[in-house]
Copies of this chain bind each other. A is one copy, B any other.
Amino acid sequence: MSTAPWDDWDHIVKLDPDKTLVEGETFEDVCRTGTDALEIGGTLDVTTEKMQRVIDACAKYDVPLYQEPSNPAVVVEDDALDGYLVPTVLNAGDVFWIAGAHKEWARMEEIDWSRTFSEAYVIMNPEASVAELTEADCDLTAEDVAAYAEIAEHQFGQPIVYVEYSGTFGDPEVVAAAQSAMDDATLFYGGGIHDYDSAYAMAEHADTVVVGDLVHDEGVDAVRETVEGAKDAQKERTVGTTDA
């Protein structure tokens, strides 16, 4: 089994370049929350200029920095980035979001695949703008999500499966089902993580929890709590594994 940077990530902050930080807080504060990585991305109104501003602000701190481009037009080439995490939406209703956008990107640009990695998204909140954009079929059982996770890893060779409830806190049973269907791939969870307990609850099943809106709406103290929740749950899971 090969190792990947995200093998050791318990927690990610996702920064939306179109949103501001809480008044009085800086990107340095965000980098010092204890989070393991920053993902820069967002669905709406993202431009390369806005992306670049966030990259520049975060580059000097010792936190891995990845861009998550929502479409080929916003990809920023910058050595300050550790790489690209490129979403493919397995339950999209429009083929563009599974393979079409990616084909267009490959056609237009010389892609550095040595630092470009693929996230297999399963989008679960039909109210989210990303669900609307991708025409995602969110009417999925835990077994459906587990099956998507399984084909993501085994058929599409995806190193990361991302169960995304953005805007709402998801069903831990669904996340647990996804985890149990996977062997070596890493399970990201995003949506509604806002404090220690919510982070802990999802990190009991997911390998990595992602907070997004929280950093923009509540600020770094709240983020720090979620880092602690995620890391405590992962420690428990590791102890469990060692005991078994």
Interface residues in chain A, defined as those with a beta carbon under 8 Å from any beta carbon in chain B: 86, 88, 90-95, 98-99, 102-107, 111, 113, 116, 118, 143-144, 146-148, 150-151, 154-158, 181
Contacting pair B102 A155 (CB below 8 A): yes
Of A105, A146, A157, most B-chain CB atoms within 10 Å = A157
Contacting pair A111 B157 (CB below 8 A): no
Taking the full assembly, how many copies of this chain does it contain?
Answer: 2
Provide the residues of chain B in CB contact with A150, threshold 8 Å. Answer: 106, 111
- Docked pose: A150 CA to B155 CA in angstroms: 16
Q: How far is the CB of A47 from chain B (nearest CB, A)?
A: 24
Contacting pair A151 B102 (CB below 8 A): yes
Contacting pair B95 A147 (CB below 8 A): no
Contacting pair A99 B151 (CB below 8 A): yes
Q: Sorted from nearest, which 3 A-B pairs have the closest CB atoms?
A: A157-B157, A107-B147, A106-B147
Contacting pair A156 B156 (CB below 8 A): yes
Contacting pair B90 A92 (CB below 8 A): no
Contacting pair A107 B144 (CB below 8 A): yes
Provide the residues of chain B in CB contact with A111, threshold 8 Å. Answer: 150, 154
Provide the residues of chain B in CB contact with A91, threshold 8 Å. Answer: 99
Contacting pair A151 B103 (CB below 8 A): yes
Provide the residues of chain B in CB contact with A148, threshold 8 Å. Answer: 99, 103, 106
Contacting pair B98 A99 (CB below 8 A): yes
Smallest CB-CB separation from A136: which chain B residue? Answer: B95
Smallest CB-CB separation from A122: which chain B residue? Answer: B103
Q: How far is the CB of A59 from chain B (nearest CB, A)?
A: 26
